[in-house]
Structures are given as structure tokens and as C-alpha cells.
Amino acid sequence: MTAPARSVVVGTDGSAGAGEAVRWAARMASHRNLDLLIAHAMEATARFYGAGVAVMDELFDLAQSAAERIVTDARRVALSVDGTLPVATEAVSESAAALLVDLSRTARMVVLGNSGLSAAGGMLLGSAVATVVSQAHCPVAVVRDRDGTVPTGGPVVVGVDGSPTSEQAVGVAFEEASYREVPLVAVHAWSDITSGVDRYLRYWEFMEPDARRLLAQRLAGRQEEHPDVEVHRHLVPADPRTALLAESGGAQLVVVGSRGRGGFKGLLLGSTSQALVRRARCPVLVVRPEPPA
């Protein structure tokens, strides 16, 4: 039997967004008696391949010194949250995405910042975030802010569509709501249609009973496991992206599967999870499919 994962992994590149991610990850690890691993990738050095041994050595030394400062500063931020928190650091010369995906194999969660540095050396720029979120072996949180501040109040929101990954997301969302001692808002959007929605609303009165029944079925077992969680059910006659983005304006966390119903396994995020990672107004937790037994 595999031992349960005991660490939260957070990627940092020294940016303000990464700093918020470290703080968020440290709070989570502290509250749940987990270890924190701060990871930094010195991938910028690879861009100077062929520049000559002496130049490469000098560049590597500079990159290594910068990396040590970045992880030292991040460790200081983490310990400011909880001075007794077990914190380890890792700085390696490889791509950020490859490093974090590899670390995700034994992590409880991987946490990423909302923004990275510029093209001159950023660790967590768009494509890297998408790669980690779509290929990680555990849930991935992207710490987004609302008007410059990462929200800590409000409910946990979860998208429910009946797909296997959504089922896993519901379970994670219940756990998050229970840990945080806040209500859970379960959102079921009845249509994936993003244009011409108005003409379909006339059918809502016929579809609503089935949608309500599906939502109740998907929540029933989880509610029995977490009787402490107050659950609010929202049926929305709109597309999931619009519904969940709207809910993110008052939530402290949105939980969603990496792909919804009809999705396929692969490198790409589903349209809903992709929109949330880019535009949500609170942290987003993307739940990956469980590996086959």
C-alpha cells in the first residue's frame, strides 16, 4: 500500500505572484500538518548553451546564486506564516514544468502563482502553468487574486457535471470546505453552449428536474461523509465557464476537474478549467483524473 502524500509543493520564481503562492501553500501545509517543499527551476541557463565553457560556468554560478536567494526569500515567507512548519527547498537546472510535474508524483498538491517573471527568466509563464495543470499527478492550485488581494473569505465552489473527473473534484471540494469550515456551493450549469443561449432557455423548465436530480445524486454520498459541510446547490441555465467565473467573485476557492463531460485524456485543459486558471477572481484548484488501478 502506498503511503499518503505528506507534502505541498509550491513553485517560485521570485515574483510577487509566486510570493502569494508560497504564503497560500504555507497556510495550507500548516493547517493540515503537512510539509512544504519550495521548488525553483534555473531554466534560463539553458538558453546560453554553446556560449563557451567559461561563460557557461559564470552564468551558471550567477543563476545558482540568484536561485539560492529566491528559495531563501521564499522560505522566509513560508516561516512567517508558521515558524514551526517543516520547509525544504529545491533549486535545479531544468524546466519548471518538468520539475513540478515530477515532484507532483509524491505530493498532496502543487501550488503555482498567478504570474511569473518576464520572458528573460520567468518560471511560471502561461505555457508552463498549462503544462503543470494538465500533466500533474495530483491536484494543482493556481493562486489568483481579487483586486490585488488573495481572498480568504467566502465559500468553496465546485463545478458539477457528472463526469468522472468532476466526481473527483466534488470529493476534493468537500474536503476543502470541511478543512476551511465554510459552506460548499455546488454549481451545475445545464449547457456547454456559449453563444445563442437565450433561445435554449425556453427548454429550461423541462430540463430543470433532471438537472436537479443529477446534482442531488452527485452530492448525496459526499454529504454523508462530510455532515459538517453546509451545502448550497446552484442550478444555472448557462455555460459552466460563465457560471463558475461569476461564482469566483465571492468565493475563496473554486474546485474544478481538468476536463468535463465528453473530455478526453491528453495534454490540453478543458475550456472551463482553462478559463478559470486565466480569469478567476480567487484561487483555483484543478483536480486531475485518478490513474487507473
Residue 163 and residue 175: Cα distance in Å, rounded? 19
- Statement to judge: residues 183 and 117 lie in one domain: no
- Statement to judge: residues 120 and 172 lie in one domain: no
* Boundaries of domain holding 254: 156-287
At 58 the pLDDT is 65
Q: Bridge-partner residues for 231, per DSSP?
A: 184
Residue 275 counted as domain residue: yes
Domain count, the chain: 2
At 207 the pLDDT is 67
At 62 the pLDDT is 77
- Statement to judge: residues 77 and 160 lie in one domain: no
Domain holding 161: CATH number? 3.40.50.12370
Residue that finishes a domain, picked among 112, 143, 174: 143
Residue 151 counted as domain residue: no
At 284 the pLDDT is 97
- Statement to judge: residues 55 and 177 lie in one domain: no
| Helices then strands, each counted (H, E), the chain | 8, 10
Residue 2 counted as domain residue: no
The DSSP-derived string for 113-153 is ES----TTT-SS-HHHHHHHHHH-SS-EEEE--BTTB----
Residue 89 and residue 121: Cα distance in Å, rounded? 19
Residue 154 and residue 133: Cα distance in Å, rounded? 24
- Statement to judge: residues 136 and 160 lie in one domain: no
At 116 the pLDDT is 47
Sequence-distant (6+) residues with CB within 8 A of 27 are 81, 82
- Statement to judge: residues 216 and 134 lie in one domain: no
At 95 the pLDDT is 86
List average pLDDT for each run of 10 residues in the chain, which is 293 residues long.
72 91 97 95 60 59 84 97 96 88 95 61 59 92 94 95 86 96 91 52 64 81 90 86 94 88 45 89 90 54
Question: Which DSSP helix (H) or strand (E) runs through 225?
Answer: helix 204-225
Asked if residues 143 and 133 have their Cβ atoms less than 8 Å apart, the reply is no
Q: What are the backbone angles phi and psi of residue 81, rounded to the nearest 5°?
A: -80, -45
Q: To 10 degrees, what angle do helices 126-135 and 96-103 make?
A: 20
Burial 124-134 (b: 16+ CB within 10 A, else e): bbeebbbbbbb
